[in-house]
Chains A and B, each alone.
Chain A
Amino acid sequence: MVDGSVTEVKDALAQVGYLADEPAALVSFLAQRLGKPVLVEGPAGVGKTELAKALSRATGRELVRLQCYEGLDESKAMYEWNYRKQLLRIQAGGDQGGWDGVQDDIFSEEFLLTRPLMKAISSPEPVVLLIDEIDKTDQEFEAMLLELLSDFQITIPELGQISATTMPIVVLTSNDSRELTEALKRRCLYLWLDYPEIEREMEIVRLHAPELSETLTRRLVEVIRMVRGLDLKKPPSIAESIDWARTLLLMGAEDIDQETFNQSMSIIVKHRTDIDLVAERVGVKLGAPTQAG
């Protein structure tokens, strides 16, 4: 998968269970070729995080994940000095070399606690680094990432620069809840993932729930699209389509009629006001239970 063409990347991703569309495959391909980070944006639940995981599986690389949240700082994301161990080292006696010796010693890699970013950089094997929901952090953190993203290196004042020995594939995801800085965007390839087209979503659902019949899958995806068309607080994601497909299997449903829909609706819609709206707009359209035909 390291080399080859866009189609090969697409196939490799499909083999590990991720059906990428053309742009996603192309960007994954370019990310590996150019060694540039990828910024993936899109609504929640369209498979942004999953793309990174699939890349890691397809390339056989380890996935290093940094989940972002408000207030995340470098000691949690990059590295931290192991303060206790340093103290112990000092107390354990320092007859070798006096102050200089101790100072050199306690600020060495032995006393460094690596956090995800450092881990990704210093790993001897190439990895896939996933920085999830970057829009949840504040701008300072974004600025801190810039060095990592453009040069794949981290500067530690006491140690100097640590550069990546192997080129990680970096994937950043964002739910678009905040405008990211130009500086960050400039360093990344940009990929907008949206809800998939009807055919592709059917493929995805069938990949994860193969027992579901073709017609029912189509029906399911069509209903899901109808629901997404409404103005909801949280439209159903792909993961929820899959969950719903599995639920229908368990229920042994043969068709999605009003009754089945109302029973299982809570799988795809998870807000009280949304449920009312969906029941009113979509449930009615599905019609009463029909005899098989």
Chain B
Amino acid sequence: MAGSPYGPKADPGPPGLAPKLLAFCEELRSEGVAVGTSEILDAFAALEQIPWTAREDFREALATTIAKSQEDRRVFELLFERYFFRATEAEAISHQISEEETRHEGGERLDIDELREQIRKAILDGDDAAMRDLAQLAIAAFGRRAEGSGVVGVDVQRIRRTLGLSAGTQPPQQQGQDNAAEEPPPIDRDQLNRFERHLRRELERDLIERTETLPPSRPLAELDRTLPTNPTQDLAAVHRAVGQMKRRLATLGHEQRGRRAAQMVDVRRTMRASLETGGVPLRLRYRPKRPRRPEIYVLCDVSTSVTSASVFFLSVLHALHDSFRKLRSFVFIERISEVTEVFEHERDFAKVAQRISSEGGVADVSGYTDYGRVWLEFLTEISDDLDPRSTVIVLGDARTNGREPHAEVFAQVAERAGRLFWLNPEPKLYWNYGDSVMAAYERHCDGAFECWTTRHLENFVDVVAGGTPAAE
């Protein structure tokens, strides 16, 4: 890392920055970031304008030209770290360079307390270079005491604890008290994370140097890719996917609003306009095309067979309600019950879930789903409102518990509604096994999808909005 600021040279390919950058872009592409040739050209143009020795500027310049959305940016940051780290290490191995000798020197002389103070200071200053050096020292100090477990994640936490570093949560009032002079200022959570990253990185470097091999490069894990969120992360992810769906549907409407496609002459307005030209209809007037207003009916199974999934489904429902105004939602087990109002009045997800379970009144006797009856009830209750503009989405596992599936009634629903989608919380493999009658229903759907992660949900969104399904 301390070597050439150009970054390392490519192993087999030509030397220099360009091939490295291209390989980096290639890696970004493989993670699904759309990097076009024009973006790459821009990146090179931008890099000419800034000194490549300034690491932050270098990264920002690349990011601003290559990563064109916040999600892309997130992937970019992760890959940037990883890619250039790996590239440097690969180079170091090939040149047999090791920091082994230099790195343990300082560790001998420092005692833990002094080290702790220095680290605290570096963290507070946000000084990356110092943090890196100190991380090395800390590792050296602990390595000497033979406390390393060999697992990077464990070691990071162990070192952090021994150094007594924790994110400060002291309220500011305490500063006025006597011990304020003694009490060091609290450390920001983010800044502490930054130091931990340095620690992790140095430990990894240590490992690579010892074994002289790079760990295999893996695609980013799903969890890493998503934006960091609060504890209700799943919920947030669902909201994100649904927000995306809303956006897609909104833009979809715009696309269809094109002027040429299938226009209807508005006779009345044409005649009116012809008055200007003495009754000769020189100019045709067209009927304005109304954008398709998504009118959505969602039916959600909340029976015990889908207990684990129903929280997920309810959160999907919850998110949908946030996004679409013309949405009616129903929950069902043996009977069906409309819960649109519950969602409209409660914003808090926990309360919604509670009210649905207490007031839904959907379980009759046994608590087992009765799909056939649900269709019958749905049809009698809603049939008049269904029209070709409406979309019906069913969330359920299609397990009828041996009861009559009434697929023909379902077919009627499908016929009346413009589109009908089925989201099944079970992997496709399990469909039609046991009491699942998915096949009977699937025939009538415009699309049936397995849906047990937000990834699947996004996939569904893609298909609904007319895009190509994302790779699994």
| A residues with CB within 8 A of B | 6, 22-23, 26-27, 29-30, 33-34, 36, 39, 41, 138-140, 176-179, 182, 185-192, 198, 215, 218-219, 222, 229, 273, 290, 293
Contacts and interface: CB of A to CB of B under 8 A. Distances in A.
Contact of A139 (B65, B247, B255): B255
Give chain B's interface secondary structure class: helix
Contact of B49 (A23, A33, A293): A33
B248 interface: yes
A27 B60 contact: yes
B376 interface: no
A29 B64 contact: no
B251 interface: yes
B38 A138 contact: no
Given A139-B251, A178-B251, A190-B73, 13 more contacts: A6-B50, A26-B50, A26-B64, A36-B42, A39-B68, A41-B70, A140-B254, A178-B250, A186-B68, A189-B46, A190-B63, A192-B70, A192-B73
18 contacts: A6-B57, A23-B60, A26-B57, A27-B60, A29-B49, A30-B65, A34-B42, A34-B49, A41-B69, A138-B254, A179-B69, A186-B36, A186-B38, A190-B65, A190-B68, A192-B73, A219-B172, A293-B176
A138 B257 contact: yes
Contacts of B61: 26, 30
Contacts of B34: 182
B257 A190 contact: no
A93 B57 CA distance: 63
B64 A179 contact: no
B91 interface: no
A191 B38 contact: no
Interface string B235-255: 000000000100110110011
A29 B347 CA distance: 43
B56 interface: yes
A191 B46 CA distance: 14
A6 B176 CA distance: 40
B67 A30 contact: no
Contacts of B27: none
B45 interface: yes
Contacts of B295: none
A146 B255 CA distance: 17
B36 A218 contact: no
Contact of A189 (B54, B65, B248, B254): B65
Contacts of B248: 179
Contacts of B50: 6, 26, 29-30
A219 B171 CA distance: 10
Interface of B: 34, 36, 38-39, 42, 45-46, 49-50, 54, 56-57, 60-61, 63-65, 67-70, 73, 172-173, 176, 188, 230, 244, 247-248, 250-251, 254-255, 257, 347
Given A138-B254, A218-B172, A186 B39 contact: yes
B247 A178 contact: yes
A190 B247 contact: no
Contacts of B250: 178
Contacts of A22: 56-57, 60
Nearest to A290: B173
Contacts of B230: 229
B401 to A, nearest CB: 38
B191 to A, nearest CB: 10
A91 B88 CA distance: 77
Contacts of A140: 254
A8 B178 CA distance: 43
Contacts of B69: 41, 179, 185, 190
Contacts of A178: 247, 250-251
Contacts of A41: 69-70
Nearest to B236: A231
A201 to B, nearest CB: 13
Nearest to A287: B173
Nearest to A38: B64
A293 B61 CA distance: 47
Contacts of A293: 176
Contacts of A34: 42, 45-46, 49
A273 B49 contact: no
A273 B347 contact: yes
Given A26-B57, A29-B49, A189 B172 contact: no
A33 B45 CA distance: 9
A101 B368 CA distance: 85
Interface centre among B45, B61, B188 (most CB of A within 10 A): B61
Nearest to B255: A139
A191 B251 contact: no
A189 B68 CA distance: 8
Nearest to A230: B230
B185 to A, nearest CB: 11
A179 B67 contact: no
Nearest to A286: B171
Contacts of B46: 30, 34, 189
B42 A179 contact: no
A290 B36 CA distance: 59
Given A41-B70, A139-B251, A182-B34, A27 B64 contact: yes
Contacts of A229: 230
A177 B39 contact: no
A222 to B, nearest CB: 7
Nearest to B257: A138
A34 B46 CA distance: 7
Contacts of A36: 42
Contacts of A23: 60, 63-64
A185, A190, A222: which has the most chain B beta carbons within 10 Å? A190
A154 to B, nearest CB: 21
Contacts of B36: 186
Nearest to B51: A5
B90 to A, nearest CB: 29
Contacts of B172: 215, 218-219, 222
Nearest to A141: B254
Contact of A30 (B64, B176, B257): B64
Contacts of B257: 138
Nearest to B347: A273
3 closest A-B pairs by CB:
A185-B68, A33-B49, A190-B68
Nearest to B191: A197
A191 B64 contact: yes
A34 B64 CA distance: 12
Nearest to A42: B70
Contacts of A215: 172
A139 B254 contact: yes
A190 B257 CA distance: 29
Nearest to A32: B49
